[in-house]
Amino acid sequence: MKKTFNLLKKIILVCIAIVAVMIVAVFIYHQYRLNCESSLIQKKGTLIDFNGKKMNVYNEGKGKDTFVFMSGSGVAAPVYEMKGLYKKFSRSHKIAVVERAGYGYSDVFHDNRNIDTILEQTRQALIKSGNKPPYILLPHSISGLEAIYWAQKYPQEIKSIIALDIGLPNEYAKYKLGIGESLSIRGMNLFAKLGFQRLFPTITYDPEVIKQSFLSDKEKEIFKAISYKQAFNDDMKQELLQNKDNARKSLKLPIPKDTPILFLSAYTDQNEHSKGTIEKNMDYTAFAKKLNKAEVKKVKGKHSLYLYAPDEIYDLANNFIYGKSEL
Protein backbone atom coordinates (compact mmCIF):
# COMPACT_ATOMS: atom_id res chain seq x y z
CA MET A 1 0.00 0.00 0.00
CA LYS A 2 2.85 2.37 0.91
CA LYS A 3 4.62 1.60 -2.37
CA THR A 4 1.44 2.35 -4.32
CA PHE A 5 0.99 5.64 -2.48
CA ASN A 6 4.62 6.65 -3.13
CA LEU A 7 4.26 5.75 -6.82
CA LEU A 8 1.06 7.79 -7.09
CA LYS A 9 2.76 10.74 -5.38
CA LYS A 10 5.65 10.59 -7.85
CA ILE A 11 3.26 10.48 -10.81
CA ILE A 12 1.41 13.54 -9.48
CA LEU A 13 4.66 15.42 -8.94
CA VAL A 14 5.83 14.55 -12.46
CA CYS A 15 2.50 15.76 -13.90
CA ILE A 16 2.77 19.00 -11.94
CA ALA A 17 6.33 19.47 -13.16
CA ILE A 18 5.28 18.88 -16.79
CA VAL A 19 2.40 21.36 -16.49
CA ALA A 20 4.72 23.92 -14.87
CA VAL A 21 7.26 23.53 -17.67
CA MET A 22 4.49 23.94 -20.28
CA ILE A 23 3.20 27.11 -18.60
CA VAL A 24 6.70 28.59 -18.44
CA ALA A 25 7.36 27.63 -22.07
CA VAL A 26 4.11 29.25 -23.25
CA PHE A 27 4.83 32.39 -21.23
CA ILE A 28 8.38 32.71 -22.58
CA TYR A 29 7.18 32.15 -26.15
CA HIS A 30 4.43 34.75 -25.65
CA GLN A 31 6.93 37.34 -24.41
CA TYR A 32 9.24 36.54 -27.31
CA ARG A 33 6.43 37.00 -29.83
CA LEU A 34 5.30 40.24 -28.18
CA ASN A 35 8.81 41.57 -28.60
CA CYS A 36 8.89 40.51 -32.26
CA GLU A 37 5.45 42.01 -32.95
CA SER A 38 6.11 45.29 -31.16
CA SER A 39 7.52 46.85 -34.35
CA LEU A 40 4.16 46.25 -36.05
CA ILE A 41 2.18 48.13 -33.42
CA GLN A 42 2.94 51.71 -34.36
CA LYS A 43 0.81 54.76 -33.55
CA LYS A 44 -2.44 55.04 -35.50
CA GLY A 45 -4.51 57.87 -34.09
CA THR A 46 -4.18 60.50 -31.37
CA LEU A 47 -2.94 59.38 -27.95
CA ILE A 48 -4.48 61.35 -25.08
CA ASP A 49 -2.70 61.45 -21.74
CA PHE A 50 -4.49 60.53 -18.50
CA ASN A 51 -1.96 60.86 -15.67
CA GLY A 52 0.71 58.97 -17.59
CA LYS A 53 -1.65 56.48 -19.26
CA LYS A 54 -2.54 56.89 -22.93
CA MET A 55 -5.94 56.50 -24.59
CA ASN A 56 -6.24 56.35 -28.38
CA VAL A 57 -8.75 58.06 -30.67
CA TYR A 58 -8.59 57.49 -34.42
CA ASN A 59 -10.10 60.20 -36.66
CA GLU A 60 -10.93 60.03 -40.34
CA GLY A 61 -13.03 61.89 -42.89
CA LYS A 62 -14.75 65.29 -42.91
CA GLY A 63 -18.29 66.42 -42.40
CA LYS A 64 -20.72 68.33 -40.24
CA ASP A 65 -21.50 65.38 -37.96
CA THR A 66 -19.03 63.23 -36.01
CA PHE A 67 -19.86 59.54 -35.84
CA VAL A 68 -18.26 57.92 -32.79
CA PHE A 69 -17.57 54.17 -32.99
CA MET A 70 -17.54 52.32 -29.65
CA SER A 71 -16.50 48.67 -29.59
CA GLY A 72 -17.94 45.73 -27.72
CA SER A 73 -16.27 43.77 -24.94
CA GLY A 74 -13.07 41.95 -25.89
CA VAL A 75 -12.76 43.57 -29.34
CA ALA A 76 -9.05 44.08 -28.81
CA ALA A 77 -8.29 46.13 -31.95
CA PRO A 78 -11.33 48.35 -32.74
CA VAL A 79 -9.53 50.57 -35.27
CA TYR A 80 -8.97 47.49 -37.43
CA GLU A 81 -11.98 45.32 -36.64
CA MET A 82 -14.55 48.08 -37.26
CA LYS A 83 -12.86 49.50 -40.36
CA GLY A 84 -15.25 47.85 -42.81
CA LEU A 85 -18.09 49.89 -41.33
CA TYR A 86 -16.52 53.22 -40.41
CA LYS A 87 -14.88 53.51 -43.86
CA LYS A 88 -18.35 53.80 -45.35
CA PHE A 89 -19.24 56.68 -43.04
CA SER A 90 -15.92 58.52 -43.47
CA ARG A 91 -16.64 59.01 -47.17
CA SER A 92 -19.07 61.80 -46.30
CA HIS A 93 -18.79 62.25 -42.52
CA LYS A 94 -16.18 62.66 -39.84
CA ILE A 95 -15.63 59.52 -37.79
CA ALA A 96 -13.86 58.85 -34.52
CA VAL A 97 -13.00 55.40 -33.19
CA VAL A 98 -12.58 55.54 -29.42
CA GLU A 99 -10.31 52.82 -28.08
CA ARG A 100 -11.11 52.84 -24.39
CA ALA A 101 -8.60 51.76 -21.75
CA GLY A 102 -7.22 48.29 -22.49
CA TYR A 103 -8.21 48.33 -26.16
CA GLY A 104 -6.21 48.80 -29.35
CA TYR A 105 -3.40 51.33 -29.03
CA SER A 106 -4.60 52.48 -25.59
CA ASP A 107 -2.81 51.51 -22.39
CA VAL A 108 -4.30 49.22 -19.78
CA PHE A 109 -5.36 51.64 -17.02
CA HIS A 110 -5.91 49.09 -14.23
CA ASP A 111 -8.77 51.17 -12.79
CA ASN A 112 -12.14 50.01 -11.50
CA ARG A 113 -13.97 50.51 -14.84
CA ASN A 114 -16.75 52.41 -13.10
CA ILE A 115 -19.10 53.74 -15.79
CA ASP A 116 -18.52 57.34 -14.72
CA THR A 117 -14.78 56.84 -15.12
CA ILE A 118 -15.20 55.22 -18.53
CA LEU A 119 -17.54 57.95 -19.77
CA GLU A 120 -15.36 60.83 -18.59
CA GLN A 121 -12.33 59.26 -20.25
CA THR A 122 -14.26 58.94 -23.51
CA ARG A 123 -15.55 62.51 -23.38
CA GLN A 124 -12.15 64.01 -22.61
CA ALA A 125 -10.38 61.87 -25.21
CA LEU A 126 -12.79 63.00 -27.91
CA ILE A 127 -12.50 66.69 -27.04
CA LYS A 128 -8.69 66.57 -26.78
CA SER A 129 -8.44 64.75 -30.12
CA GLY A 130 -10.35 67.53 -31.87
CA ASN A 131 -13.89 66.15 -31.79
CA LYS A 132 -16.53 68.49 -30.44
CA PRO A 133 -20.08 67.48 -29.49
CA PRO A 134 -22.80 66.80 -30.36
CA TYR A 135 -21.97 63.27 -31.52
CA ILE A 136 -23.73 60.43 -33.26
CA LEU A 137 -22.78 57.31 -31.34
CA LEU A 138 -22.42 53.83 -32.83
CA PRO A 139 -21.98 51.55 -29.82
CA HIS A 140 -21.71 47.80 -30.14
CA SER A 141 -22.72 45.30 -27.45
CA ILE A 142 -21.45 46.36 -23.99
CA SER A 143 -20.79 49.92 -25.21
CA GLY A 144 -24.54 50.41 -25.38
CA LEU A 145 -24.46 50.79 -21.62
CA GLU A 146 -22.01 53.70 -21.86
CA ALA A 147 -23.88 55.29 -24.79
CA ILE A 148 -27.24 55.30 -23.00
CA TYR A 149 -25.66 56.56 -19.78
CA TRP A 150 -23.99 59.32 -21.80
CA ALA A 151 -27.35 60.39 -23.25
CA GLN A 152 -28.84 60.32 -19.75
CA LYS A 153 -26.13 62.50 -18.18
CA TYR A 154 -25.28 64.80 -21.08
CA PRO A 155 -28.21 64.73 -23.53
CA GLN A 156 -27.03 67.91 -25.27
CA GLU A 157 -23.88 66.08 -26.39
CA ILE A 158 -25.67 63.25 -28.22
CA LYS A 159 -27.46 63.91 -31.49
CA SER A 160 -28.44 60.27 -32.05
CA ILE A 161 -27.47 56.69 -31.26
CA ILE A 162 -27.18 53.89 -33.80
CA ALA A 163 -27.21 50.88 -31.48
CA LEU A 164 -25.42 47.84 -32.93
CA ASP A 165 -26.94 44.84 -31.14
CA ILE A 166 -26.32 46.49 -27.79
CA GLY A 167 -27.01 45.27 -24.28
CA LEU A 168 -29.53 47.39 -22.38
CA PRO A 169 -29.07 48.54 -18.76
CA ASN A 170 -32.01 46.46 -17.52
CA GLU A 171 -30.52 43.34 -19.14
CA TYR A 172 -27.17 43.77 -17.42
CA ALA A 173 -28.77 44.74 -14.11
CA LYS A 174 -30.95 41.65 -13.89
CA TYR A 175 -28.25 39.21 -15.00
CA LYS A 176 -26.76 37.36 -12.06
CA LEU A 177 -23.06 36.65 -12.42
CA GLY A 178 -22.51 33.33 -10.69
CA ILE A 179 -19.40 32.19 -8.87
CA GLY A 180 -18.54 29.88 -11.77
CA GLU A 181 -18.72 32.68 -14.33
CA SER A 182 -16.77 35.05 -12.10
CA LEU A 183 -14.02 32.44 -11.71
CA SER A 184 -14.11 31.82 -15.47
CA ILE A 185 -13.60 35.52 -16.19
CA ARG A 186 -10.69 35.70 -13.76
CA GLY A 187 -9.27 32.48 -15.16
CA MET A 188 -9.36 33.77 -18.75
CA ASN A 189 -7.59 36.91 -17.58
CA LEU A 190 -4.84 34.82 -15.95
CA PHE A 191 -4.48 32.58 -19.01
CA ALA A 192 -4.15 35.68 -21.21
CA LYS A 193 -1.38 37.06 -19.00
CA LEU A 194 0.45 33.76 -19.38
CA GLY A 195 0.02 33.88 -23.16
CA PHE A 196 -2.32 30.95 -23.74
CA GLN A 197 -4.37 32.99 -26.23
CA ARG A 198 -1.68 32.18 -28.79
CA LEU A 199 -2.79 28.55 -28.69
CA PHE A 200 -6.38 29.56 -29.53
CA PRO A 201 -6.27 32.29 -32.22
CA THR A 202 -9.92 31.90 -33.29
CA ILE A 203 -10.96 32.65 -29.71
CA THR A 204 -8.53 35.55 -29.38
CA TYR A 205 -9.89 37.41 -32.40
CA ASP A 206 -12.83 37.10 -34.77
CA PRO A 207 -11.63 35.05 -37.78
CA GLU A 208 -14.22 36.85 -39.93
CA VAL A 209 -11.94 39.92 -39.86
CA ILE A 210 -9.18 37.88 -41.49
CA LYS A 211 -11.53 36.28 -44.02
CA GLN A 212 -12.81 39.59 -45.33
CA SER A 213 -10.92 42.04 -47.53
CA PHE A 214 -11.41 45.44 -45.87
CA LEU A 215 -7.95 45.12 -44.27
CA SER A 216 -4.68 44.82 -46.19
CA ASP A 217 -2.40 41.87 -45.48
CA LYS A 218 -0.18 44.11 -43.32
CA GLU A 219 -3.18 45.44 -41.41
CA LYS A 220 -4.29 41.88 -40.71
CA GLU A 221 -0.90 41.14 -39.16
CA ILE A 222 -1.16 44.29 -37.03
CA PHE A 223 -4.70 43.28 -36.05
CA LYS A 224 -3.45 39.89 -34.89
CA ALA A 225 -0.50 41.40 -33.01
CA ILE A 226 -2.71 43.84 -31.09
CA SER A 227 -5.23 41.08 -30.37
CA TYR A 228 -2.54 38.85 -28.86
CA LYS A 229 -1.12 41.76 -26.85
CA GLN A 230 -4.41 43.08 -25.45
CA ALA A 231 -6.32 39.79 -25.14
CA PHE A 232 -8.62 39.78 -22.12
CA ASN A 233 -6.48 42.11 -20.04
CA ASP A 234 -7.31 43.54 -16.60
CA ASP A 235 -9.51 46.34 -17.99
CA MET A 236 -11.57 43.90 -20.06
CA LYS A 237 -11.94 41.63 -17.05
CA GLN A 238 -13.03 44.48 -14.79
CA GLU A 239 -15.56 45.74 -17.36
CA LEU A 240 -17.42 42.45 -17.14
CA LEU A 241 -17.20 42.23 -13.36
CA GLN A 242 -18.46 45.83 -13.05
CA ASN A 243 -21.36 45.44 -15.51
CA LYS A 244 -24.14 44.99 -13.00
CA ASP A 245 -23.18 47.99 -10.86
CA ASN A 246 -22.74 50.15 -13.95
CA ALA A 247 -26.16 49.15 -15.23
CA ARG A 248 -27.78 49.98 -11.90
CA LYS A 249 -26.37 53.52 -12.11
CA SER A 250 -28.04 53.95 -15.48
CA LEU A 251 -31.37 52.64 -14.22
CA LYS A 252 -31.41 55.30 -11.49
CA LEU A 253 -31.51 58.05 -14.14
CA PRO A 254 -34.44 59.04 -16.38
CA ILE A 255 -34.75 57.43 -19.81
CA PRO A 256 -33.10 59.69 -22.46
CA LYS A 257 -36.44 60.21 -24.21
CA ASP A 258 -35.22 63.09 -26.39
CA THR A 259 -32.27 61.12 -27.84
CA PRO A 260 -33.20 59.40 -31.12
CA ILE A 261 -32.10 55.76 -31.05
CA LEU A 262 -32.06 53.23 -33.88
CA PHE A 263 -31.84 49.71 -32.46
CA LEU A 264 -30.27 47.27 -34.90
CA SER A 265 -30.93 43.72 -33.75
CA ALA A 266 -28.69 40.96 -35.11
CA TYR A 267 -30.12 37.58 -36.04
CA THR A 268 -29.09 34.49 -37.98
CA ASP A 269 -31.11 31.68 -39.51
CA GLN A 270 -30.15 29.56 -36.50
CA ASN A 271 -31.19 31.95 -33.73
CA GLU A 272 -33.90 34.12 -35.30
CA HIS A 273 -36.67 32.39 -33.33
CA SER A 274 -34.66 31.56 -30.21
CA LYS A 275 -35.80 32.68 -26.78
CA GLY A 276 -32.82 35.02 -26.40
CA THR A 277 -33.42 36.79 -29.72
CA ILE A 278 -37.15 37.18 -29.08
CA GLU A 279 -36.56 38.60 -25.59
CA LYS A 280 -33.90 40.97 -26.92
CA ASN A 281 -36.27 42.35 -29.54
CA MET A 282 -39.03 42.73 -26.96
CA ASP A 283 -36.63 44.69 -24.71
CA TYR A 284 -35.59 46.92 -27.61
CA THR A 285 -39.21 47.58 -28.54
CA ALA A 286 -40.18 48.37 -24.93
CA PHE A 287 -37.27 50.81 -24.59
CA ALA A 288 -38.02 52.39 -27.99
CA LYS A 289 -41.63 53.10 -26.99
CA LYS A 290 -40.36 55.35 -24.20
CA LEU A 291 -38.44 57.57 -26.63
CA ASN A 292 -39.75 60.42 -28.77
CA LYS A 293 -37.98 59.02 -31.83
CA ALA A 294 -36.83 55.43 -32.12
CA GLU A 295 -36.93 52.43 -34.43
CA VAL A 296 -36.08 48.75 -34.09
CA LYS A 297 -34.72 47.02 -37.17
CA LYS A 298 -33.72 43.40 -37.52
CA VAL A 299 -30.47 42.95 -39.45
CA LYS A 300 -29.20 39.58 -40.57
CA GLY A 301 -25.77 38.75 -39.21
CA LYS A 302 -23.96 37.51 -36.13
CA HIS A 303 -23.52 39.62 -33.00
CA SER A 304 -20.55 41.49 -34.55
CA LEU A 305 -23.04 43.02 -36.92
CA TYR A 306 -20.60 45.55 -38.41
CA LEU A 307 -18.73 42.65 -40.02
CA TYR A 308 -21.79 41.14 -41.67
CA ALA A 309 -24.00 44.03 -42.77
CA PRO A 310 -21.95 47.25 -43.12
CA ASP A 311 -23.87 48.47 -46.20
CA GLU A 312 -27.23 47.89 -44.57
CA ILE A 313 -26.15 49.55 -41.33
CA TYR A 314 -24.88 52.58 -43.24
CA ASP A 315 -28.09 52.86 -45.23
CA LEU A 316 -30.36 52.42 -42.20
CA ALA A 317 -28.37 54.96 -40.19
CA ASN A 318 -28.59 57.61 -42.89
CA ASN A 319 -32.30 57.00 -43.35
CA PHE A 320 -32.91 57.28 -39.62
CA ILE A 321 -30.79 60.42 -39.08
CA TYR A 322 -31.25 62.31 -42.33
CA GLY A 323 -34.33 60.71 -43.83
CA LYS A 324 -32.45 59.53 -46.89
CA SER A 325 -30.11 56.81 -48.13
CA GLU A 326 -26.55 57.74 -49.07
CA LEU A 327 -25.57 54.40 -50.55
* Range from 14-23, 102-111, 224-233, 269-278 carrying the lowest mean pLDDT: 14-23
Contacts of 305 (CB under 8 A, 6+ apart): 140, 164, 165, 264, 266, 299, 313
Over residues 105-126, the pLDDT tens digits come to 999 999 999 999 999 999 999 9
Over residues 258-307, the pLDDT tens digits come to 999 999 999 999 988 899 899 999 999 999 999 999 999 999 999 999 99
Cis peptide before 310 (omega within 30 of 0): no
**Average pLDDT score over residue span 11-19:** 80
Query: 295 pairs with which residues across the strands?
Result: 262
Which pTM value belongs to this model?
0.93
Q: Are 320 and 162 in contact (CB under 8 A)?
A: yes
End-to-end Cα spacing for the chain: 79
Over residues 61-92, the pLDDT tens digits come to 999 999 999 999 999 999 999 999 999 999 99
3 state SS of 299? strand
Nearest to 232 by CA among 98, 43, 103, 97: 103
Residue positions counted in the chain: 327
Concatenate the DSSP letters of all residues of 22-40 into one string: HHHHHHHHHHHHHHHHTTT
